[in-house]
């Protein structure tokens, strides 16, 4: 009989909350954030351990990355091959890691954003430093091993990393509700900092920064806010400003060129292409018109981006423009978040080093305990063999008189002679005096006869002396924290000498880049906006030659100066401004650029009602009319604003802006408003009062609750007609009435 199901009733929100927290903690601890002890994320740790297990050492042949990825995924990391291969690739890229942990063979991507080849083509093996500083001593029980995901294998909980990898290689990761971003540092400086902390645990952050000057990015560059670093390293949070390294070279003909030889770390990858496009746009928009050519001459030897300048160009000023307008000066957001004692924690420089040093003491303690146990075992066996050499004749007699190994072993350990036949009198009495340990007895029984040679006995005695010396050394290290610190420092110094490299990133206090914008020569242009919302600027003379076509093909034709700004009024009551300099300048038949791309105007959510220029609106009054029948006049000067987007008018709830147009200012100028029910009202424009742009206005026409305003027209002496119920209504023939009337029905 099937057992009845038990239904547990619970609050759904509580269940969701618990499940989400469990998921979030899993992502935080088991995927996205590095451990403060070894500075590695789980995927990196498992990949390195798998390579170690596969025996892919630095002095052995490369192995296919597909083999490494497959083995790692099958044994330790069942989260997809792409994440494992991506981690493997990054650990091999010297432009992303201060100390690459993997030696890659094949196409592992480039600094310019080219991706690595597929894993079936590339090969890899461990770097020498990875074996010596990251994976050594795993056989000495220095770290705990835990079951893998299906409990068929064991994997290390943490790797026994002997250098502060979290600082040396940095880390980047996005978890749930938190992210880590730790810059890389110089190996030699960080080791000096660790040694300084071990000698003085009360060292301050500022004192520590005498050793660790600041971040050391593999791409070089210059950190320009040195004074901010102590605060960043104290709290573990802040912003590091980095600039590329720029040189100004003299070319032929008295010209100069700007050469970028190092880039900010944040520009690695596709951002180099974006940087070049940003320069191109600056040139196109006439902001950097002194740049005549851009060439990327980067190669395997390093970065070299060359900007050729016009004769007499101000190179220093152009450099400042690049700092201000491109990613040649960028910000690296620091958030030194890592998993410490099983939970995420934001730490400053000193706490990270403190955790590292505590981990080193733990590793050293476990290592030397294991070594001491092994040496004590060797000592016990060696003492047994030495003692056995002195009574070897008796031992041989015992072995020849024994029926089996068990009886012989019993005699050697306990002096039990009952089951042993002795050849010589007195031997039995001597045998009863034997009291070897079990290990010693086993070693004696396994001993080969060549060990009885005199030289071999001497070698055994020397080996015993070395064992006693090792035991004394290990006991001293385990019994004294000072002695253990010396051992750790000695090993760190060896790594420093063998793998340390000079700093690549300069750290200084640089003045903020100030760009003196050269005043452009004022020229007359015409801005054209077509019915699809594409905008462009052409020379006024070009417009005059193509006036008919330009007026026919474009919705708005706005004559202005190149130093002016365009004003775009929309049905949502917004005013978007665009500098005329930002408009694409070209030939009459050029397509132009969507207005959305160069302003905050959103063609999907608002409709353009009128486009003018700030200069063209000065001294004029603009008529505004809303869908609720509200009207007002506003001075054009009010729309000369510095903001890219601002409110052009105030609207009642549920209303939209229906009409915006400059007034001619004539006495006969009139406004016509009509509704969906074909009610028409015409009144003089002079009846509409002047208001501020922040006002709603006054009622222009009374509209029935079941009706709505359909259109508004400004008559400036011309004849205009609209269609109502299939009939033409001549607006200029409508009788003038007072503002705020109901209007007359037509058609």
| Residues catalogued as catalytic | 121
Side-chain half-sphere CA neighbours of 743 within 13 A: 26
Which of 218, 192, 187, 225 has its CA nearest to residue 207? Answer: 192
- The end-to-end CA distance of the chain, in Å, is 84
Q: CA of 622: how far to CAs of 451, 458, 485, 655, 735, in Å?
A: 112, 111, 81, 19, 24
Q: Rounded distance, CA 434 to CA 270, Å?
A: 78
**Angle of CA points 604, 608, 613, to nearest 5°:** 135
Q: Are 161 and 40 in contact (CB under 8 A)?
A: yes
Cβ within 8 Å of residue 421, ≥6 positions away: 401
Phi-psi region of 238 (alpha: psi -120 to 50; beta: other; left: phi over 0): left
The DSSP annotation for 475-535 comes to: HHHHH-HHHHHHHHHHHHHHHHHHH-----SEE-B-PPP---PPPPPP-EEEEEEETTSEE
Catalogue the long-range contacts made by 127-130 (C-beta closer than 8 Å, 24 or more residues apart). Answer: 127/58, 127/100, 127/101, 127/102, 127/103, 128/58, 128/59, 129/99, 129/101, 129/495, 129/498, 129/499, 130/48, 130/58, 130/101, 130/102
Which of 244, 241, 216, 205 has its CA nearest to residue 226? Answer: 241
The tokens for 556 are 């708005």
DSSP helix/strand/coil, 346: strand
Side-chain half-sphere CA neighbours of 328 within 13 A: 24
Q: Rounded distance, CA 672 to CA 688, Å?
A: 12
Torsion of CA 368, 370, 375, 377, to 10 degrees: 160
Q: CA of 148: how far to CAs of 26, 34, 74, 175, in Å?
A: 15, 18, 10, 22
Q: Rounded distance, CA 516 to CA 288, Å?
A: 12
Residues linked to residue 64 through DSSP beta bridges, in sequence order: 123
């Amino acid at each position: 009989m099937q057992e009845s199901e038990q239904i547990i009733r619970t609050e759904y929100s509580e269940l969701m909350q618990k499940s989400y927290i469990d998921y979030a903690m899993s992502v935080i601890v088991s995927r996205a954030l590095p451990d403060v002890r070894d500075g590695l994320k789980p995927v990196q740790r498992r990949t390195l351990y798998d390579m170690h297990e596969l025996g892919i050492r630095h002095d052995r042949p490369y192995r296919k990355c597909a083999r490494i990825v497959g083995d790692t995924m099958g044994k330790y990391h069942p989260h997809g091959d792409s994440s494992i291969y991506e981690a493997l690739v990054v650990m091999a890229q010297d432009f992303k890691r201060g100390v690459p942990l993997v030696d890659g063979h094949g196409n592992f991507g480039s600094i310019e954003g080219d991706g690595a080849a597929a894993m079936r083509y590339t090969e890899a093996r461990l770097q020498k430093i990875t074996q010596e500083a990251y994976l050594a001593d795993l056989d000495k029980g220095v770290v705990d091993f835990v079951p893998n995901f299906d409990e068929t294998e064991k994997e290390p909980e943490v790797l026994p990393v002997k250098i502060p990898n979290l600082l040396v290689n940095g880390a980047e990761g996005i978890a749930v509700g938190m992210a880590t971003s730790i810059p890389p540092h110089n190996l030699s400086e960080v080791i000096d900092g660790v040694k300084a902390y071990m000698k003085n645990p009360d060292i301050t952050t500022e004192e520590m920064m005498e050793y660790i000057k600041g971040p050391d990015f593999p791409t070089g560059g210059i950190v320009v806010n040195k004074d901010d670093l102590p605060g960043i390293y104290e709290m573990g949070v802040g912003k590091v400003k980095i600039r590329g390294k720029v040189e100004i070279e003299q070319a032929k003909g008295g010209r100069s060129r700007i050469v970028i030889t190092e880039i900010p770390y944040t520009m690695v990858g596709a951002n180099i292409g974006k940087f070049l496009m940003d320069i191109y746009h600056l040139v196109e928009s006439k902001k950097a018109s002194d740049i005549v050519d851009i060439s990327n001459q980067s190669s395997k030897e390093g970065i070299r981006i060359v900007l050729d300048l016009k004769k007499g160009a101000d190179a220093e000023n152009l450099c400042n423009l690049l700092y201000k307008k491109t990613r040649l000066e960028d910000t690296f957001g620091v958030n030194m978040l890592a998993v410490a004692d099983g939970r995420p924690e934001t730490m400053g420089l000193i706490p990270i080093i403190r955790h590292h040093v505590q981990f080193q003491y733990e590793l050293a303690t476990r290592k030397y305990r294991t070594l001491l146990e092994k040496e004590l075992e060797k000592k016990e066996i060696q003492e047994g063999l030495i003692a056995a050499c002195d009574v070897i004749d008796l031992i041989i007699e015992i072995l020849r008189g024994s029926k089996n190994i068990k009886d012989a072993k019993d005699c050697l350990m306990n002096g039990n002679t009952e089951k042993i036949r002795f050849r010589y009198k007195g031997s039995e009495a001597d045998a009863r005096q034997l009291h070897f340990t079990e290990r010693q007895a086993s070693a004696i029984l396994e001993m080969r006869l060549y060990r009885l040679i005199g030289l071999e006995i001497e070698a055994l005695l020397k080996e015993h002396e070395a064992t006693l010396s090792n035991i004394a050394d290990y006991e001293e290290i385990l019994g004294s924290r000072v002695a253990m610190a010396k051992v750790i420092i000695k090993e760190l110094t060896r790594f420093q000498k063998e793998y340390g490299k000079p700093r690549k990133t300069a750290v200084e206090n640089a003045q903020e880049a100030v760009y003196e914008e050269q005043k452009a020569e004022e020229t007359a242009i015409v801005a054209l906006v077509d019915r699809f919302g594409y905008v462009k600027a052409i020379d006024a003379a070009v417009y005059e030659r193509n006036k008919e076509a330009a007026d026919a093909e474009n919705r708005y034709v706005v004559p202005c100066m190149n130093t002016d700004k365009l004003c775009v009024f929309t049905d949502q009551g917004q005013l978007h401004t665009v500098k005329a300099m930002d408009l694409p300048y070209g030939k009459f038949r050029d397509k132009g650029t969507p207005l959305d791309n160069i302003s905050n105007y959103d063609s999907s959510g608002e409709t353009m009602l009128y486009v003018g220029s700030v200069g063209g609106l000065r001294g004029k009054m603009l008529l505004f009319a809303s869908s609720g029948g509200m009207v007002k006049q506003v001075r054009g000067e009010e729309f000369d604003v510095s903001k890219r987007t601002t409110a052009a008018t105030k609207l009642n709830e549920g209303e939209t802006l229906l009409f915006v147009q400059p007034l001619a200012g004539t006495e006969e100028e009139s406004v016509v408003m009509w509704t969906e029910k074909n009610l028409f009202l015409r009144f003089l424009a002079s009846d509409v009062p002047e208001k501020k742009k922040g006002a709603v206005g006054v009622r222009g026409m009374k509209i029935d609750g079941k009706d709505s305003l359909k259109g508004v027209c400004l008559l400036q002496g011309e004849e205009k007609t609209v269609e109502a119920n299939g009939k033409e209504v001549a607006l200029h023939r409508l009788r003038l009435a007072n503002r705020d009337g109901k209007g007359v029905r037509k058609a």
